[in-house]
Chains A and B, each alone.
Chain A
Amino acid sequence: MSFIAFRMFLRKGGTSSAILAIALLIAIMASANSIVNSINSQATALESMVDVGQTYLVMQKNATSVTNSQVSPGVASLLENMSDVDQVLPQTITDVTMTSNSSNYNVELTTVEDLPSFFNVKQAQMQGQIAEPNALEVDIGIALASLTSTNTSDQVTLTFGDTSLKVSITGVFTTLTQSDAQIVAPADIAQQLTGENSTSFVEFSLKTDSSQSAVSSIEQALPTDVKIVKVQELKGFIQDVSDQTLSFLNLWSIGIFVVIAAASYLVATRLVTESTYELSMLRSLGSNRGLLFRLVFIYIVAVASLGIVLGLSIGIVGAQAASTMANWIQPGVTLAPFLEIGQAAQLAAFTFLSAIMGCLFPAFKSAFWFKTEEAL
């Protein structure tokens, strides 16, 4: 009896419009999601086109910056002995006061053990000479040199606390990095100024044939009080920007799901209103209240299922057609909207949930508050 009754409900005039109403709502979300997917996939494709570097920093675990980081000098030795590691540059950053032409400037002093390797890695253009160790010589970045009007052969005073050191500038370099705004010197300069032999951080690069998993093994081999930070974070950037768009879309989708729940309520209400006679007949023929509830419930599930299939199709095809037309009108605009299976399943699941929530009250009303005598 329930099958016949269900068929009877499905053949009602309002069924097609009910399916269409739900389908159109799903189509909005399907098309919006497919367009966003297309934009995000283009951004991801960009990531694979850009040659992302393999340089990393080893810093103190709880440090938020390289200046307030301090790592054990043994970290550099550990890295140098690893087969996947190419270049290792331990560096010490010290905030000092530079006095030049009677003017004081707060500057960062970077000291390294191997200055030629440092400038080689940074692909520096050097005017003058690389500073020699134990000779009170330093090199100065082009930005700082311009700011302080200093040049090669000039002498400047570096002060840290109560200790001052008069040094000669042997070279002005350009690296197109932040070092251009710093003084770079051999390690002994920092030792003489601070009296310490510490390392702020270690910069290292992987060999070109190394895989990304090498970083995990390196991290495991290092002391637990350090962390590895990737210098170039293109993947993270693209992921974050994509997430922002998806957050907006998810928020907007909540509104559409509420409309679906309301539409489902309407569909069920309309079914009960238009099927007063049929529901009364079923009750008279001995159907229990549970059957009436199930009939309305299954009807909504069937309408929602057909609406989902139709809506997803309309949404994806519509978005693809619209993007093709947009490309004809504006040749620069190239979009290839698509929907992932997981997303389609998620849309379907939330639609079912919304439709079921919406139909519960009318279905319950039809089963328990329906007055058979009045209807007949």
Chain B
Amino acid sequence: MLLGFRYLRKSSIFTLFLIITLISTVFSITAFSLLGLYNGFNSYLGQGNNVIAVYSTVGSTPFSGLVPSDLAENISTLKGVLACSPEVLAPCMLNGEAVFARGVILEQFLKLTPLTMVEGNLSTPTDLDSAMVGKSLAQRLNLKPGDQILIQGTLTERYLELHIDGIYESHTSMDDEIIIPLYAGQCLRAVDYGQVTLIRVEIDRTQITPETIYQQIAEEASQPSQNNGETNQNNGQPLAQSGVVYWPQLSFLLKNVGVVDAQTFMKDYLERYGVTVENVLVLSAMVFIFSSASLAMAITTLTRQHKREIEILQSLGASKRTLKTDFLVKTLAVSSAATACGTLIAMLTLAAIWTTGYLQVLSHRIFIQFNPAVILLNFILVAALVSLATLKPTANK
């Protein structure tokens, strides 16, 4: 049963509204940005179901593992392999800022990750001193086609002087990277031409499976190396048109090489450090719960501020149960509106910050994704807490 009396003062309701709005904003900002970070890294290597990654199982991060580059040569010849892109990820410094450079064989890379050129042109595979810069990075460092750039190494004493051919957009985390020839990436990563960070492979699953590719790798691993692990230029197979020097054959242990779906690859790495969707949501909920004492205090204050009105209503015959129900309905209505408002403020704030490129982790901009589960969780948490604070015995004393 609801009471028709409007006994809650507007100024008091506004305080409650403000508190819930602020808490919802903080919760939403935490959850949206952490989930954005998680999803951004998950889709880092491509979102297609048919993209798999050949990677090093002993690397502690997705950037630090190394696999033999000549595996790419053998995998690319298998039936059902649509594209095979050996890539090297190298941390470096450009114009005083930390960035990641990605050494690739351009034709293979473009088959897996189509780029839209927003300025300038695609690099030609025969140009060994060219680079393409992601739109977001170009904006941040004010780079444009035709510029000469000096890239400083971080892992080794090496530097590169390249000219920018074009600015690309991929709508992924790669918009914060520099695409450079494979040999240049290997130079910055301080590895020889026989190693790459990973090999991305697009497959036709009706013709080939990741297991078949793993078998191929196992066969190669079982063959004794002709040069006992030493780089031997004479054994290399020149792939000059790809901008690759040669594929020196290196011996390797099969257990050190893995083949998984590209998304699983990143997911496994994140899980290794305890980063899962569930943990991200729990962490955000913890922020909410730690703020909940303020919310409970707001409800109690609201009750105390209306003690006199509640006592009058009781003297007029309203039961405690009726009063509690009425109070709950009124506060729930206010809290729902405040939650919606808080979520909206969080979305607008994050959208505004995103356009400035301010939010970055590991030099990659966080892609904010407005997940409905976060919004729903926010409403549930607020409703549960408001109900608990309203219905607890001390609240209506």
Residues of A within 8 A of B (CB): 14, 17-18, 20-21, 24-25, 27-28, 50, 53, 55, 57, 64-68, 93, 105-106, 108, 125, 127, 142-144, 146-149, 174, 176-178, 180-181, 229-234, 236-238, 240-241, 244-245, 247-248, 251-252, 255-256, 258-259, 262-263, 265-267, 269-270, 273-274, 326, 329-330, 332-333
Q: Is B8 an interface residue (CB 8 A)?
A: no
In contact, B161 and A237 (Cβ under 8 angstroms):
no
In contact, B358 and A240 (Cβ under 8 angstroms):
no
In contact, B157 and A53 (Cβ under 8 angstroms):
yes
In contact, A64 and B19 (Cβ under 8 angstroms):
no
Q: Is B225 an interface residue (CB 8 A)?
A: no
Chain B residues with CB under 8 A of A237: 91-93, 98, 154
Interface residues in B293-340 by Cβ distance below 8 A to A read 293-294, 296-298, 300-301, 304-305
In contact, A259 and B187 (Cβ under 8 angstroms):
no
Q: Is B380 an interface residue (CB 8 A)?
A: no
17 A-B Cβ contacts within 8 A? A14-B297, A17-B296, A64-B149, A65-B148, A66-B150, A106-B127, A146-B246, A174-B245, A176-B158, A178-B161, A236-B96, A237-B91, A244-B362, A259-B19, A259-B294, A263-B297, A333-B273
In contact, A231 and B93 (Cβ under 8 angstroms):
no
In contact, B126 and A105 (Cβ under 8 angstroms):
yes
Chain B residues with CB under 8 A of A181: 128-129, 181, 183-184
In contact, B294 and A236 (Cβ under 8 angstroms):
no
In contact, B291 and A332 (Cβ under 8 angstroms):
no
Which of B15, B157, B244 is close to A266, meaning CB atoms less than 8 Å apart? Answer: B15
A234 to B22, CA, bound (A): 40
Task: Give the residue name and chain of the B residue nearest to A179 (CB).
Answer: B187
Given A147-B126, A256-B26, A269-B301, A262 contacting B294 (CB threshold 8 A): yes
Task: Give the residue name and chain of the B residue nearest to A127 (CB).
Answer: B233
Which of B19, B93, B360 is close to A262, meaning CB atoms less than 8 Å apart? Answer: B19
In contact, B157 and A255 (Cβ under 8 angstroms):
no
Which of A28, A176, A231, A269 is close to B159, meaning CB atoms less than 8 Å apart? Answer: A231
Interface residues of chain B: helix, strand, loop or mixed (majority): mixed
The 9 closest A-B pairs by CB, nearest first: A53-B157, A65-B148, A240-B98, A181-B128, A21-B293, A233-B93, A263-B294, A255-B26, A146-B240
In contact, A332 and B152 (Cβ under 8 angstroms):
no
Known: A178-B161, A259-B294. 12 other contacts (CB 8 A): A17-B293, A21-B297, A24-B291, A65-B161, A125-B233, A144-B128, A180-B187, A229-B152, A247-B358, A259-B19, A263-B19, A333-B273
Q: Is B361 an interface residue (CB 8 A)?
A: yes
User: Chain A nearest CB: distance from B97 CB in Å?
Assistant: 6
Chain B residues with CB under 8 A of A147: 126, 128, 240, 243
A26 to B125, CA, bound (A): 54
In contact, A234 and B301 (Cβ under 8 angstroms):
no
Chain B residues with CB under 8 A of A68: 148
Chain A residues with CB under 8 A of B246: 142, 146
In contact, B245 and A146 (Cβ under 8 angstroms):
yes
In contact, B187 and A273 (Cβ under 8 angstroms):
no
Residues of B within 8 A of A (CB): 15, 18-19, 22-23, 25-26, 29-30, 33, 91-93, 96-98, 126-129, 147-150, 152-161, 181, 183-184, 186-187, 190, 192-193, 233, 238-240, 243-246, 272-274, 286-287, 290-294, 296-298, 300-301, 304-305, 353, 358-363, 366
Which of A149, A251, A255 is close to B25, meaning CB atoms less than 8 Å apart? Answer: A255
Which of A53, A176, A330, A333 is close to B186, meaning CB atoms less than 8 Å apart? Answer: A176
**B129, B239, B290: most-surrounded residue (chain A CB, <10 A):** B290
In contact, A233 and B291 (Cβ under 8 angstroms):
no
**A108, A127, A144, A146: most-surrounded residue (chain B CB, <10 A):** A146
Chain B residues with CB under 8 A of A57: 159
A25 to B26, CA, bound (A): 11
In contact, A146 and B91 (Cβ under 8 angstroms):
no
**B15, B91, B92, B156: most-surrounded residue (chain A CB, <10 A):** B156
Chain A residues with CB under 8 A of B97: 240
Interface residues of chain A: helix, strand, loop or mixed (majority): helix
In contact, B304 and A274 (Cβ under 8 angstroms):
yes
Task: Give the residue name and chain of the B residue nearest to A270 (CB).
Answer: B301
Chain A residues with CB under 8 A of B181: 181
In contact, A241 and B362 (Cβ under 8 angstroms):
yes
User: Chain A nearest CB: distance from B315 CB in Å?
Assistant: 20
Task: Give the residue name and chain of the A residue nearest to B345 (CB).
Answer: A255
Chain A residues with CB under 8 A of B93: 233, 236-237, 240
In contact, A258 and B22 (Cβ under 8 angstroms):
yes
In contact, A270 and B98 (Cβ under 8 angstroms):
no
User: Chain A nearest CB: distance from B354 CB in Å?
Assistant: 12
Chain B residues with CB under 8 A of A232: 152-158
In contact, A24 and B363 (Cβ under 8 angstroms):
no
Chain A residues with CB under 8 A of B149: 64-65
Task: Give the residue name and chain of the B residue nearest to A18 (CB).
Answer: B297
Which of A229, A255, A267, A332 is close to B273, meaning CB atoms less than 8 Å apart? Answer: A332
Which of A93, A106, A177, A234 is close to B155, meaning CB atoms less than 8 Å apart? Answer: A234
In contact, B128 and A259 (Cβ under 8 angstroms):
no
In contact, A251 and B98 (Cβ under 8 angstroms):
no
In contact, A28 and B161 (Cβ under 8 angstroms):
no
In contact, A266 and B294 (Cβ under 8 angstroms):
yes
A270 to B239, CA, bound (A): 76
In contact, B148 and A333 (Cβ under 8 angstroms):
no
In contact, B154 and A270 (Cβ under 8 angstroms):
no
A27 to B29, CA, bound (A): 18
Chain A residues with CB under 8 A of B128: 143-144, 147, 181
User: Chain A nearest CB: distance from B139 CB in Å?
Assistant: 16
Chain B residues with CB under 8 A of A20: 293
Chain B residues with CB under 8 A of A142: 233, 245-246
Chain B residues with CB under 8 A of A50: 155
Which of B29, B239, B240 is close to A252, meaning CB atoms less than 8 Å apart? Answer: B29
Chain A residues with CB under 8 A of B286: 28
In contact, B358 and A251 (Cβ under 8 angstroms):
yes
Chain B residues with CB under 8 A of A24: 290-293
In contact, B152 and A262 (Cβ under 8 angstroms):
no
Task: Give the residue name and chain of the A residue nearest to B183 (CB).
Answer: A143
